[in-house]
Structure 1
Amino acid sequence: MSESSFTMDAEWNALYIDGEWVDAGDRDDIAVENPATRETVTSVPAATEDDVDRAYEAAAEAQSEWADRPAEERAAVVEDAIDLLDEHRDDILQSLAVESGSANAKAFAEWQTAQGMCYHAAGLADELDTETQDSMIPGKQNHVERVPMGVVGVISPWNFPFNLSMRAVAPALATGNAVVLKPASATPVTGGLLLARLFDEAGLPDGLLNVVPGYGSDIGDRVAGHPELDVMAFTGSTDVGKRVAATAAENLALPAMELGGNNPHVVTEDADLDAAVDSAVFGSFLHQGQVCISINRHLVHEDVYDEYVERLAERAENLPVGDPTDRENVIGPVIDEGQRDEMLDYVERTVEAGATLETGGEADDLFVEPTVLSDAENDMAAACNETFGPIAPVIPFADDEEAVELANDTEYGLAASVHAGDLDRARDLADAIDAGMVHVNDQPINEEPSVPFGGVKASGIGRYDGDAILEELTQTKWISVQEEQREYPF
């Protein structure tokens, strides 16, 4: 491969099936657009259902031999991928900027987290040990081992395409599974084909990772409902996730769903306001708010409400907006017109309902201004919906009971954050909030390879990361050995 094999200028016009780069042929093209410039930077073939079938067949064929290999051999492939991640870091960061509108801080965090996922995955290869359990039957030994599930399907989103694909792909491979990956059609390179190239160069045997870019409307049901599928790992909206999970369950495949969020950021009157606002700016505006775990609602005690709003709006106004290939810019473009129009509609409806627009609320093409809304209420459009944009509605509360009531008044339960001067009080608030992840004196955009990641309520099923991922990608197998002749009652 050339030195530029991980940039958007490289050749990406192929599928990756059974270790082969499959030319586009007469398939339809997916044009990949730079959202900052609106230029088409590359195109990839749109996979068909026949391509999906070939990918699953290749995965099923290759998986059993891969599972039988020593754990250190599987880990070695992932470790070689880590070396390539280091070698091509700058190219990967540039690709994320061009394809997904990622400003430098976000792109680096995504690359760094993906690298951490690979380190953790390499360690998981050694955790499929056999445990011996006591038996109530004399002379019997019970052995419980973890074995791979088989074939893992991955449907990944466009907002953190590289990391959110890697967090399923790397541990699946390390634990002896094979993978069929369908990246989002807006980010088929950084969410899919780039991973194929990475593991291809790392020496992964043929058939174990297959990448089929395509439109969900064309191949999504086949990816989620293939008879060879054993685990369906999906990250995306709750509405789509429900359909994906139902389709997978028809073949008794295990759904691992990380879905939508409406994440509260609670600030009490005794909080360190400097720290709370610092957290708020990062938690609301990183990657233009296009993060499932970003702050969606700022719940602020009425005693510090006015000062908080003023400081947050001032910080938002001063964030540099522009093409993310310029590393000075913090706010890049949103992914497309549909997302932009929905964001602006939420703002407009919220203002019409009585909120005050403190700053922002407009867009220059796909660059949506960082927006702060005061006098907001929990049932206003920008608060009760997952805006997935740089929009910060600020809602007052009078006491901790009301803060918890507001925080939990949503169908979602993905992430939350709490700032309070007293840590015991902060922990009490964190315990009372219905969310899979709550961060004290921080903001909710956190993901660490060693810690379980996931939500409750409509925010998903199962957990990624940590040892919890073993529950999604492996299953227990009980083997008993009767070492002494057993006596039966008849």
Structure 2
Amino acid sequence: MDADWNGLYIDGEWRSPDDRETIPVENPATREVVSEVPAATVDDVDEAYSSAVAAQEDWETELPQVRGEVIETVQRLIEDHHEQLTDLLAIESGSARPKASREFTSTGEMMRDVVTYPFRMDGGHSQSKIEHKENIIKRTPVGVVTVISPWNFPFQLSLRAVAPAIALGNAVVLKPATETPISGGLLIARLFEEAGLPDGVLNVVTGHGSEIGDHVASHPDLSAVAFTGSTQVGQGVAKNAAEQLALPAMELGGNNPHVVLDDADVEQAVDAGTFGSFMHQGQICISINRHLVHESLYDDYVEQFVDRAAALPVGDPLDEETVVGPIINESERDTILDYIDRSIEAGATLELGGTADGLFVKPTVLSDMDNDMAAACNEHFGPVAPIIPFETDAEAIELANATEYGLAASVHSRTLSRARSVADEIEAGMVHINDQPINNEPHVPFGGTKASGMGRYNGEWIIDEFTEPKWTSIQHEPREYSF
């Protein structure tokens, strides 16, 4: 955090703020201003895209091993600076050690897979119905990829789009979240600069979404948009992208159920539920939003869950013992507390927590909940665990699906065939049996259905997003035509 981050990164140069407004970067644990970054203008955005367009043509023609080596070098730099980067995440985004470590582990795993992407732009030959014709199919980069990343996992969720786009021969314009412009943007620029990425292939514009967000998402030079964030904002981004006929890859909100069937191992389900609710203070799109527990296990589950939640250390993320850190800002905190209060007013029982000290919201457990109460029907995005009883598997499925979202879910049962049957009926892009929803592996598709987004990240799925097939035919001998 002591480095000078007060610059935009455009065409391989660090641009000082000059007469631009600057944006303070605050530590959510202390509210101390720890750095400042420039607020990019519309002109800055135009220049970033111009640089990306100019650089992309040459970058596309680089040998695949050259593109792979850049990604591999960035991955090594991440490993070499693990402790410094962990501290940066703690200070800028309120990430406690368990979360920050998981973010870097997942990022490293992803980067090792992305190294192979330049050699996985698979093409092929296809038979022709026309005599002496050869059909050739190859994959080419889409061009310029816009990446708009969130504040909760800023480093990982920026790189999961930036790294594949660059590996596949595209150029990138990255707009990180206003709350996390360093770990979500400027840090990534420094890593790629150190790795020898040619000027202009990656450009980072920090700023207020309200001022440059629409221009970034609707720029005529973009070819694809990768966005992670709320459904409401994502709908606007997708609309802007569609007007440019650019492919949107959207990972949006979630309201993720943790289903505990009547033959589940309660202790195992509580262990998973505790992790899935309170990792990074619940500020994860795939964290557990609702615990759906069979009525025969309900009291036991609530009791065990309250004991586990009450024992979680809350405090400054720089403290090695901390598990639950601060909420990112006052607005998010107030929304969380409002959902809790409204649920209690509607008849829920407050078993634990329900208050905040500054930005530290205490781990909160609500029993006697139903699906329509505020903390259950909304994506609360906080350290809150609404626990809802059900009578039958069919009711559990109905409750799980009674939301506009369809991102992730988990199901607990000692009978795998039964758990699989329930999982198959849950409307979500990702379902985990005898686990919790916070999972990500670089070789399997990551994304949701319904209002949780469109497109998928990772592996062959993100390769499809950031490349396009091109058909070339060769007529080897003269062809006869109808006229």
Task: Report the TM range for the smaller structure's normalisation.
Answer: over 0.9
Other-structure match for 1:4: none
Alignment RMSD, CA only? 0.6
Other-structure match for 1:76: 69
In structure 2, stretches of 5+ residues that fail to align are none
**1:459 counterpart = 2:452:** yes
SS at match of 2:428: coil
Partner deviation per Cα, 1:164-198 (whole Å, 9 max, x = no partner):
00000000000000000000000000000000000
Other-structure match for 2:215: 222
Other-structure match for 1:472: 465
Equivalent in 404, 407, 410 of residue 400 of structure 2: 407
Amino acid at match of 2:72: E
Q: Distance in 2 between matches of 1:80 and 1:396?
A: 50
Other-structure match for 2:442: 449
SS at match of 1:143: strand
Partner deviation per Cα, 1:342-387 (whole Å, 9 max, x = no partner):
0000000000000000001000000000000000000000000000
**1:393 counterpart = 2:408:** no
Matches within 5 A, 1:371-386: 371-386=364-379
Contact in 2 for aligned 1:268/1:300 (Cα 8 Å) = yes
**1:488 counterpart = 2:481:** yes
Contact in 1 for aligned 2:267/2:304 (Cα 8 Å) = no
Matches within 5 A, 1:267-306: 267-306=260-299
Q: Distance in 1 between matches of 2:76 and 2:328?
A: 30
Q: CA deviation at 1:118?
A: 1.3
TM-score computed with the length of structure 2 as normaliser: 0.99
Q: Distance in 2 between matches of 1:130 and 1:168?
A: 22
Deviates more, 1:91-100 or 1:112-121: 112-121
Partner deviation per Cα, 1:59-85 (whole Å, 9 max, x = no partner):
000001100111111001101111101
Q: CA deviation at 1:489?
A: 2.4
Other-structure match for 1:320: 313
SS at match of 2:116: helix
SS at match of 1:327: coil
Q: CA deviation at 1:105?
A: 0.7
Partner deviation per Cα, 1:408-445 (whole Å, 9 max, x = no partner):
00000000000011000000000000000000000000
SS at match of 1:43: strand
Q: Distance in 1 between matches of 2:341 and 2:53?
A: 50
Contact in 2 for aligned 1:17/1:211 (Cα 8 Å) = yes
Q: CA deviation at 1:115?
A: 1.4
Contact in 2 for aligned 1:117/1:170 (Cα 8 Å) = no
Other-structure match for 2:85: 92
Partner deviation per Cα, 1:242-293 (whole Å, 9 max, x = no partner):
0011011111111111000000000011111111000000000000000000
- Count of aligned pairs: 483
**1:351 counterpart = 2:344:** yes
Contact in 2 for aligned 1:271/1:419 (Cα 8 Å) = yes
Q: Distance in 2 between matches of 1:122 and 1:151?
A: 19
TM-score computed with the length of structure 1 as normaliser: 0.98
Other-structure match for 1:261: 254
Other-structure match for 1:3: none
Q: Distance in 2 between matches of 1:46 and 1:448?
A: 34
Partner deviation per Cα, 1:3-58 (whole Å, 9 max, x = no partner):
xxxxx111100000000011111111110000001111000001011000000000
Q: CA deviation at 1:129?
A: 3.2
Amino acid at match of 1:199: F
Other-structure match for 1:129: 122
Structure 1 runs of 4+ aligned residues shifted over 6 Å read none
**1:363 counterpart = 2:359:** no
Equivalent in 169, 174, 186 of residue 181 of structure 1: 174
Q: Distance in 1 between matches of 2:215 and 2:241?
A: 9
SS at match of 1:479: strand
Q: CA deviation at 1:112?
A: 1.2
Q: Distance in 2 between matches of 1:128 and 1:242?
A: 30
Q: CA deviation at 1:149?
A: 0.3
Contact in 2 for aligned 1:356/1:376 (Cα 8 Å) = yes
Other-structure match for 1:335: 328
